Amino acid sequence: MGHYNRFAGANLGRLEALSDGLFAVAMTLLVFDLHAPAAAAIARAGGLTGALVTLLPRLLVYLMSFLTLGIFWVGQQTGLNFLAATDRNLTWLHLGFLFAVSLMPFSTALMAGFIAYRAALLVYWCNIFLLGALLFAALRYAAGAGLVRADAPEGAHRAVERRIVIAQALYGVGAALCLFSTYASIGFIILVQLNYVIAPRVWGLDRL
């Protein structure tokens, strides 16, 4: 007789579609938290410029989170590109990963509101750690369960895993810097992310 868990959650295309939708919503909601100043609080034109300038640090936090989500979207995409199929266990690992994605607007709003508080930074770091750990677990499971395509480039799957481990080590250093200052943490994390986005071909930085 048929048994549910043997067929369930086996559609790779729908997992990709759900992921793209959820990333798209989370990326847009990040900035949706950035409210225009209330009209009543702005007495004259100069007041608006001043209010906008005070929003700039928040904007930097949203940009950082957009980069985070972009980095993990590229990472997930790259991992899924090598798969021939999925099964219900792998699908659930990715649903866990997507839950961590859905937490990002909250973590980001928290850090934007409490930029000088270690508790906010640690919540944010936990969120990044969760993203990395679940994506790593999904990659490792896919390799072990024989779901990787036969024609996937040699060593590609391990290269994604290696990238996650190094990135998480760097994010960990960034989080530890909050012992000195949360601003040092944020600055370091943004530098790490810009390195992954720009991938400069000097000093082997693009191979981290």
Which of 11, 4, 191, 167 has the alpha carbon at shortest distance from 91?
11
What residues numbered 48-107 form the site for a second copy, per CB under 8 A?
Answer: 48-49, 52, 63, 66, 70, 73-75, 77-78, 81-82, 88-89, 91-92, 95, 98-99, 102-103, 105-106
Helix (H) / strand (E) element for 167: namely helix 156-176
Q: Smallest gap, in angstroms, from Cβ of residue 130 to a second copy? A: 12
CA angle 119, 122, 124 (to 5 degrees): 110
Nearer to a second copy, 140 or 207 (CB): 207
Query: How far is residue 118's CA from residue 41's CA, in Å, rounded to a whole number?
Result: 30
Q: How many residues bind a second copy (CB under 8 A)?
A: 84
Backbone angles phi and psi of 131, in degrees to 5: -55, -50
Q: Is 16 one of the binding residues for a second copy (CB under 8 A)?
A: yes
Q: Is 2 one of the binding residues for a second copy (CB under 8 A)?
A: yes
Contact 35, 41 (CB under 8 A): no
Among 17, 173, 176, 191, binds a second copy (CB under 8 A): 17
Which one of 21-29, 128-136, 170-178, 185-193 is the stretch in contact with a second copy (CB under 8 A)? Answer: 21-29
Neighbours of 137 (CB within 10 A): 15
Nearer to a second copy, 18 or 133 (CB): 18
**Cα atoms found within 13 Å of the Cα of residue 132, Cβ hemisphere only:** 20
Contact 70, 131 (CB under 8 A): no
Nearer to a second copy, 34 or 173 (CB): 34
Q: Smallest gap, in angstroms, from Cβ of residue 172 to a second copy? A: 19
Q: Smallest gap, in angstroms, from Cβ of residue 77 to a second copy? A: 5
Q: Is 184 one of the binding residues for a second copy (CB under 8 A)?
A: no
